[in-house]
Structure 1
Amino acid sequence: MTAVCVMVLGTTSGAGKSWLTTALCRHYAQRGLKVAPFKAQNMSNNARVVAGVANAHRQTQAGEIGSAQYFQALAARAEPEVRMNPVLLKPEADTRSQVVLMGEVNRELGDTPWRERSEKVWPYITAALDALCAENDVVVIEGAGSPAEINLHASDIVNMRVARHVQARCLLVTDIDRGGAFAHLYGTWALLPANEQALIKGFVLNKFRGDARLLAPAPEMLQQLTGVPVVATLPMWRQHGLPEEDGVFDDSARSFGVVHTTVAVVAYPRLSNLDEFQPLKNVPGIRLVWARSPADCAGADWIVLPGSKATAADLQWLRAQGLDHTVAAHAAKGGRVLGICGGLQMLGEALIDPHGIDGNAPGLGLLPLVTVFDPLKTVTRTQATFSEVTCPWHALSGVAATGYEIHHGQTAQHPAMALAGDVAREVMPGLGWQNAVGNVLGCYLHGLFEDAAVLQALFGTQAPTLDSVFDGLAQFLETHIEPGVLDALIQKD
């Protein structure tokens, strides 16, 4: 089979590309078609562990892709795999990113200048995309940022170069809530050369609040200027349940139901994998807040130290904000503290980096552990069972949890502290530890709150399933897009 390619472009970052791509994946999958998502290059510290490609020994190793493509694959009812996001950039600093090529870290590419890197990865991108096209009926492609960044157009490997390669039928989406939506749509279209303008089949207005009839005559005027119709006006919908592309939850929609638990997630600069907290947002009565200062933690029942792409640097930032004292005081009063991956490493006594992976630093000293960074990165899907966990996390005792690991650090009991009698309680073999009092818990397992058994144990309830979220996205799109557009996009010439 040779797939028809539908591509979602945006006038800006945050316009709604990932959301719309996910909805399209589920819509076409519901029609019985074989569907796969694709994004040539993603820049995000939100990553998932998926099936890799076979090596020379026909062994398939796990690899990393962006979380958005992972969820899009699930929406498409496809097995997530590295070809769906062949290049993943994981920012480590303002001017440096770790490059993940076909699921594996490639240090040589990380040292290669940006424009030179593009030509080196393009063959991998086309090979992955061509293979997916050969195996599927529909490939739904997500662009990145804007396709009309004229300083980047010549080295583009994620927007119009991809669209031209497969002659994709493109939708261009804009965030009308920001204002200037029609100017954004027209300006983006106008900056493209004629052969790329021809690939734009429809404009989408996203996050609209108000009476859509008041938009007239702007859609008609825009079509007269461009020849491209506005095919959908999507209302603002905050509670759709899909994790945001960068894991950022909307503070204006903090919770629903009577709040019984406030969870403060420390938002250091290089935080990662925040999409794993989306299920908490979907549980009635839980309020999630960002914590960038001590005041943000006021009234919190839990303080969570999430994953980090630069643990030592983020720990330094945390101290500069005074949040180290806040976390320590919260723990001293018996409040719950949870560290996940990099957050677990921060809770220990020390970070030791003999290979220049992340950096050396003293830890927060809330768990008698030490972490040593290793050049070999652990990337794996994991299932493990909690042993006896003491109060206030006792409900996790005996719970089998499924998640994933992505880390360079290797963590163990601090030997000198053990001799002094300060021993961490290992509550998940090699993956999780608890302090003697029991209120501080650290774990390497990402995705805990996506596990139904963990949510049930901690809160006695469930969040909506991902399948129901995907179905809701598809239904929402079908309700608000012009009739016949979705079918027309996949009609073969």
Structure 2
Amino acid sequence: MRPIMLQGCTSDAGKSLLAAGLCRALVNRGFQVAPFKAQNMSNFAAITPDGGEIGRAQWLQAKACRLAPHTDMNPVLIKPESDMRSQVIVNGEVDHEVTKLPWMQRKQRLWPHVESALARLQSKYDVVVIEGAGSPAEVNLRAGDIVNMAVALHCNARVQLIADIHRGGAYAHLLGTWHCLSASEQNLVQGFVLNMFRGDASLLAPADEWILQQTGIAVSGCIPYWPHRLPDEDSWRHQSSFIQGQTNIAVVVYPYASNLDELDVLLQEEGVNLVPIRHGQSLVGFDAVILPGSKNSLASLAWLHEQGLAAQIPKVAHRFGICGGLQILGESLAAEDNSQQAQGLGLLPLTTSMQANKVTQLTTVKTEFDVSVTGYEIHHGKTSGKAEKHLDDELGWRQGQTIGVYLHDIFTNDDYRQWWLEQLGWRGQVRPWQQRIDQELDRLADMLERTGWVDNVVKQEG
């Protein structure tokens, strides 16, 4: 079967979620399916079994396909480190030479890796579900494109063009995007998808007929607004405020915060309330504060001081740092060349120095209370000191009610999550996380099947 490609009129049109749902629907129909995104830009990353780094969205899509994630599913990952600098991951590993190149000069170096990865997936699976990035209508970037129409043309993909109708102007977005494409690219578009719809779908009929007359392409799917409990691709959309009577956990969303999706597991527990802290608001009354990972720990630490949060964090009853958050909780941290050094919050007697080599691996270790936990490591830092051991292999420390770990996804371990929440005074029983993710993917696939969109996509083969 020819590859199916989901492209969007805009960023955040819902491509990642629809790709995951389509993957699971096709797998449930008996197809062997693999996901693919040539280039992802996100600080939400996952680790493959062989230690490669890919975007978290492709990790979820691999799970939807009931596959282990592989670097072929996302051969290029771009991780922003500042407004003008990003780290480039190629085939799961940092490529320092490509990282130094200007954006528009990277295609020559990266395109062969995209071709090879896609070819390997096509040789192994019945169908590859491909996700684009941003929009193919970003005409200023077309010369360097390795993720949208360049991929579609290369593999003769059947393109579904998605618009978020909730934003308004969806038909104009679809028509305008289609007009920005070349004739050969337009010929690959086989359906328009209206995503996030609320209301009476029958009211769309005149507009559906209009866009068919304008382009010769029919609306293949109208996807309803669907509140989901799956991890987001590259941004943490959760919004909440302090709720009296619940276990309230402040999550500090500083600049370059990474892998915030690993905290979604806490959101699903009854009586647990996570509150994003995006500016210098009060932390009074919170049961705990979490400092998540960071792609730039020094910049994130400076922001904490600017916002007045550095002085508040020690006053919160329980403190938990993950990766970059662990480094910030220590006494000091320094850049690899010592060009930048800073005092940490001093809540853990630890020092961190950045290293040239990046550690990326899946890991299973024992906790201080002799329970095994599994997660993944993504870090440049080397940390040491006199804090009490919390995890084996120098992956976690504690000092009183302050805990810092290098192990991402630690809260997805049900026993550990139960233990930590009980330390905060929570009384309840956690629900199995991995089972919930799988059930949610099936719910998503069933919803897409009911709309008729999956049928339309499969029938367009040829």
Normalised TM-score (structure 2): 0.94
Contact 1:304–1:337 (Cα < 8 Å) also in 2: yes
- The alpha carbon displacement at 1:283 in A equals 2.0
| Equivalences for residues 284-363 of structure 1 within 5 A | 284-295=270-281, 297-330=283-316, 335-355=317-337, 359-363=340-344
Residue equivalent to 2:355: 374
Deviations 1:42-85 (A, max 9, x none): 00011111144xxxxxxxxx110000001101111112111110
**Residue segments in structure 1 that go unaligned for 5+ positions in a row:** 53-61, 388-396, 414-422
Deviations 1:369-405 (A, max 9, x none): 1111111111110011111xxxxxxxxx332211000
- The alpha carbon displacement at 1:179 in A equals 1.3
Picking from 168, 185, 193, the partner of 1:204 is 193
Contact 1:385–1:400 (Cα < 8 Å) also in 2: yes
Cα pair distance change 1:115/1:483, threshold 3 Å: closer
Cα pair distance change 1:405/1:268, threshold 3 Å: same
| Alpha-carbon distance between aligned partners in 1 of 2:380 and 2:401, rounded to the nearest angstrom | 26
Cα pair distance change 1:404/1:439, threshold 3 Å: same
| Alpha-carbon distance between aligned partners in 2 of 1:212 and 1:298, rounded to the nearest angstrom | 46
- The alpha carbon displacement at 1:247 in A equals 3.8
Picking from 112, 124, 129, the partner of 1:123 is 112
- The alpha carbon displacement at 1:460 in A equals 2.1
Cα pair distance change 1:204/1:258, threshold 3 Å: farther
| Alpha-carbon distance between aligned partners in 2 of 1:448 and 1:483, rounded to the nearest angstrom | 35
Deviations 1:244-265 (A, max 9, x none): 111413327x89x996222211
Residue equivalent to 1:428: 391
Cα pair distance change 1:483/1:38, threshold 3 Å: closer
Q: Secondary structure at the match of 1:486?
A: helix
2:252 matches 1:266: yes
| Equivalences for residues 42-81 of structure 1 within 5 A | 42-52=40-50, 62-81=51-70
Deviations 1:176-201 (A, max 9, x none): 11111111111111111111111111
Contact 1:16–1:206 (Cα < 8 Å) also in 2: yes
Aligned residues: 452
Contact 1:352–1:372 (Cα < 8 Å) also in 2: yes
Residue equivalent to 2:425: none
Q: Secondary structure at the match of 1:378?
A: strand
Residue equivalent to 2:378: 406
| Alpha-carbon distance between aligned partners in 1 of 2:83 and 2:336, rounded to the nearest angstrom | 23
Contact 1:259–1:284 (Cα < 8 Å) also in 2: no
2:152 matches 1:163: yes
**Residue segments in structure 2 that go unaligned for 5+ positions in a row:** 422-427
Residue equivalent to 1:480: 451
| Alpha-carbon distance between aligned partners in 2 of 1:84 and 1:483, rounded to the nearest angstrom | 22
Q: Secondary structure at the match of 2:128?
A: strand
Contact 1:313–1:359 (Cα < 8 Å) also in 2: no
Q: Secondary structure at the match of 2:150?
A: helix
Deviates more, 1:292-301 or 1:96-105: 292-301
| Alpha-carbon distance between aligned partners in 1 of 2:418 and 2:397, rounded to the nearest angstrom | 21
Contact 2:448–2:454 (Cα < 8 Å) also in 1: no
Cα pair distance change 1:173/1:299, threshold 3 Å: farther
2:416 matches 1:454: yes
| Alpha-carbon distance between aligned partners in 1 of 2:449 and 2:436, rounded to the nearest angstrom | 20
Name the amino acid aligned to 2:300.
Answer: D
Cα pair distance change 1:103/1:354, threshold 3 Å: closer
Cα pair distance change 1:291/1:241, threshold 3 Å: same
- The alpha carbon displacement at 1:18 in A equals 0.3
| Alpha-carbon distance between aligned partners in 1 of 2:446 and 2:153, rounded to the nearest angstrom | 30
| Alpha-carbon distance between aligned partners in 2 of 1:349 and 1:482, rounded to the nearest angstrom | 55
Question: Identity of counterpart residues, as a percentage?
Answer: 47
Residue equivalent to 2:261: 275
| Alpha-carbon distance between aligned partners in 2 of 1:221 and 1:476, rounded to the nearest angstrom | 27
Cα pair distance change 1:283/1:481, threshold 3 Å: farther
| Equivalences for residues 30-45 of structure 1 within 5 A | 30-45=28-43
| Equivalences for residues 222-233 of structure 1 within 5 A | 222-233=211-222
Q: What's the RMSD between the two structures over aligned residues?
A: 1.9
Contact 1:91–1:97 (Cα < 8 Å) also in 2: yes
Contact 1:36–1:76 (Cα < 8 Å) also in 2: yes
Name the amino acid aligned to 1:280.
Answer: L
Residue equivalent to 2:424: none
- The alpha carbon displacement at 1:427 in A equals 1.3
Picking from 123, 137, 147, the partner of 1:148 is 137
- The alpha carbon displacement at 1:268 in A equals 0.7
Name the amino acid aligned to 2:182.
Answer: P
Cα pair distance change 1:354/1:448, threshold 3 Å: closer
- The alpha carbon displacement at 1:222 in A equals 1.1
Name the amino acid aligned to 1:367.
Answer: L
Cα pair distance change 1:296/1:277, threshold 3 Å: farther
| Alpha-carbon distance between aligned partners in 2 of 1:33 and 1:216, rounded to the nearest angstrom | 32
| Alpha-carbon distance between aligned partners in 2 of 1:454 and 1:211, rounded to the nearest angstrom | 45
Name the amino acid aligned to 2:413.
Answer: D
- The alpha carbon displacement at 1:89 in A equals 0.4
Cα pair distance change 1:488/1:258, threshold 3 Å: farther
Normalised TM-score (structure 1): 0.88
| Alpha-carbon distance between aligned partners in 1 of 2:396 and 2:297, rounded to the nearest angstrom | 18
2:7 matches 1:26: no
| Alpha-carbon distance between aligned partners in 2 of 1:226 and 1:485, rounded to the nearest angstrom | 18
| Equivalences for residues 457-472 of structure 1 within 5 A | 457=419, 458=421, 460-462=429-431, 463=433, 465-472=436-443
| Alpha-carbon distance between aligned partners in 1 of 2:107 and 2:16, rounded to the nearest angstrom | 22
Name the amino acid aligned to 1:461.
Answer: V
Contact 2:336–2:356 (Cα < 8 Å) also in 1: no
Deviations 1:85-117 (A, max 9, x none): 000000001111001010000111011111111
Contact 1:383–1:402 (Cα < 8 Å) also in 2: yes
Deviates more, 1:212-221 or 1:161-170: 212-221
